[in-house]
Amino acid sequence: MRVLFGFVSGLVFGLGLILSGMGNPAKVLNFLDVFGAWDPSLAFVMGGAALTAFLGYRLAWRRERPVLMADFDIPSATRIDLPLLSGAAVFGVGWGIGGFCPGPAWTALPLAAPGTLIFVPAMLIGVFAGRWLKSASAKKAVA
């Protein structure tokens, strides 16, 4: 049942990304170009997403446990450290150069636009390189 709800949630999320224009890198890049052809419409998309998440969390925290899991899976990390800041910077630079963040890149992939066909493999290389670097630094710290 969890897999079905996960699939439906992902489908709704992907449709929302497409309908909001997040799958269009030109729209995203125009949003980031505050001193040029700025398009503020994605700010409203992000604001709507933040409001929806806020209300969803308020409703979820009223429950004793999640509907489809035994317990809430809450991250315990609260530190703002170099890995967090450098990861955020790399994410932001990639978003600014490519016009995609991971979710919209996957939703735009079936369109087979050349930018998407370059961005998604580069994103996957970055994900695996990041995991490898994290693993290598953890091994180095243990040794």
Contacts of 122 (CB under 8 A, 6+ apart): 94, 98
User: Which pLDDT score, from 0 to 100, does residue 143 have?
Assistant: 67
Q: Are 32 and 105 in contact (CB under 8 A)?
A: no
Predicted TM-score (pTM) of this structure = 0.67
Range of the domain at 82: 2-142
| Number of separate domains in the chain | 1
**Ordered DSSP codes for 17-28:** HHHHTTT-HHHH
Q: Are 72 and 66 in contact (CB under 8 A)?
A: yes
User: Tens digits of per-residue pLDDT, 92-137?
Assistant: 888 888 888 888 888 888 878 788 888 899 989 988 998 998 888 8
